[in-house]
Copies of this chain bind each other. A is one copy, B any other.
Amino acid sequence: MKDYVIGIDIGGTFTKTGFVDREGNILAENSSPTEPFDSVDVYLYNLVKELKEAEKQLDEPYRIVGIGIGAPNGNYHKGTIEQATNLKWKGIIPFTDMMKEHYDLPIKLTNDANAAALGEKVYGGAKELDNFVMVTLGTGLGGGIVVNGDLVYGHDGFAGEQGHVNVVENGRKCGCGNHGCLETYVSAPGIKRTVFELLAKDTEGSKLVKYTFDEMDSEIIFNAAREDDPVALKSFEETGKTLGKHLADTVALVSPSKIFLFGGLAKAGDYIIKPTKKWLEHFVMGLFKNKVDIVPSKLIGKNVAVLGASALIWNELDK
């Protein structure tokens, strides 16, 4: 008998699903659009239909042992999706309750970045770690904090919003409504904004002057950095400094043994990790110096959205 967890990642544009075994192998992967469904009821009806169809691809005998869901503004305690700005379903959606009408199984839900942290614990580089931090550097900056072996959900189920700590008072406008949040400086769009600030001061012969704001992305900046473009290199240095300073504070609060970086910007490897490490060590309290590793996630290149979601269930079953 083979056990599987259904992993579901609900994104603004696409919903990704898969049947995941304890080793992190994903079977019957699927991706279908989230956008067209104005009604969550119709969306769910369609999602369940697709899952039942996909399940037919599994070899007998098998057993589904639970469903893990990653969703924006996912509330772990209540199983709800609350006021998610990039989903069409407004208000508070009792998603796991709705799912339970179709599946009589353990169902857990959290936000995608928290799920990614659990993915690292169940399948990745944090298998033996009880205290670590995951930082996902993509369109935004997300994260998950694991303390005493458990994810930190907080009293309301929403903890771990590392992207929205305050970096610059009255700083860059953030999608959350505030200004100066960490993710406006440290993320794929954040490093682009930094490049434009740097170009405004001094172009230094940089090739990045050839791109419009719309055209520029973190991959262009990464490629320029590899060719020693001075502005690109400086933008990684500044981004690493901002991230390293924030992580120094996180270390003082929760003292993780490792920090994992994941996401588009993390693919830049040492270009982002080296300055982040340097500035973390510069800013961190003496008690914690030279104790914390910053490493790339071991899940880079894998379907972390579905893996992370499924980890929600395996992590419970492992206890």
Cα A218 to Cα B107 with chains together (Å): 52
Any B CB within 8 A of the CB of A136: no
Which residue of chain B lies nearest to A291 when distances are taken between CB atoms in the complex?
B156
Q: A196 interface residue, CB < 8 Å from B?
A: no
Q: A176 and B253: CB pair below 8 A?
A: no
Name the distance in Å between A172's Cβ and chain B's nearest Cβ: 15
Name A145's closest neighbour in chain B (CB-CB). B253
The docked-state distance in angstroms from the alpha carbon of A166 to that of B165 is 12
Contacts of A156 in B (CB 8 A): 255, 257, 288, 291
Contact among B152, B245, B248, B257 with A148 in the assembled complex (CB-CB below 8 Å): B152
Given contacts A158-B255, A159-B254, A176-B287, 19 further A-B contacts (CB under 8 A): A73-B287, A132-B155, A145-B253, A145-B254, A148-B152, A153-B255, A155-B257, A156-B257, A156-B288, A156-B291, A157-B255, A159-B252, A161-B253, A161-B288, A162-B253, A164-B287, A165-B248, A166-B249, A176-B285
From known contacts A148-B150, A152-B147, A152-B148, infer whether A252 and B285 are also in contact, taking CB-CB under 8 Å. Answer: no
Binary flags per residue of A288-314, CB closer than 8 Å to B gives 1, else 0: 100100000000000000000000000
Interface flag for A46 (CB, 8 Å): no
User: With A and B bound together, what is the CA distance between A210 and B275 in angstroms?
Assistant: 47
> Which chain B residues border A181 with CB–CB below 8 Å?
285
B residues in contact with A158, CB < 8 Å: 255, 287-288
A181 to chain B, nearest CB (A): 7
Task: Tell me if A160 is interfacial: C-beta within 8 Å of chain B.
Answer: yes
Taking CB atoms and an 8 Å cut-off, the chain A residues in 261-304 that contact chain B are 283, 285-288, 291
Stoichiometry (number of copies): 2
> Would B255 and A164 count as touching, CB distance under 8 A?
no
Which chain A residues in 67-114 approach chain B with CB under 8 Å? 73, 83
Give the docked Cα–Cα distance between A164 and B221 (Å).
Answer: 34
Q: Are A252 and B162 in contact (CB under 8 A)?
A: yes
Say yes or no for A31: interface residue by CB 8 A criterion: no
Most B CB within 10 A of own CB, among A131, A155, A156, A286 = A155
- Report, nearest first, the 4 A-B pairs whose CB atoms are least far apart: A154-B255, A155-B257, A159-B255, A165-B249
Q: Which of A177-199 contact B (CB under 8 A)?
A: 177-178, 181
Q: Which B residues lie within 8 Å of A162 (CB)?
A: 252-253
Name which of A147, A178, A257 has the most chain B CB atoms within 10 A of its CB: A147
* Given A249-B166, A287-B158, A148-B145 contact (CB < 8 Å): no
Chain B residues positioned under 8 Å from A159 (CB to CB): 131, 252-255
A286 neighbours in B (Cβ, 8 Å): 176-178
| Cβ contact within 8 Å between A285 and B148 | no
- Check A285 against B178 for contact (C-beta < 8 Å): yes
A253 B131 Cβ-Cβ under 8 A: no
Determine the distance from Cα of A278 to Cα of B288 in the docked complex, in whole angstroms. Answer: 32
Can you list 26 A-B pairs, Cβ within 8 angstroms, ordered by A?
A83-B287, A130-B155, A131-B154, A132-B155, A147-B147, A147-B148, A147-B150, A147-B152, A147-B154, A148-B150, A148-B152, A152-B254, A155-B256, A156-B255, A156-B291, A159-B252, A159-B255, A161-B285, A164-B285, A165-B252, A166-B245, A176-B287, A178-B283, A181-B285, A253-B253, A253-B254
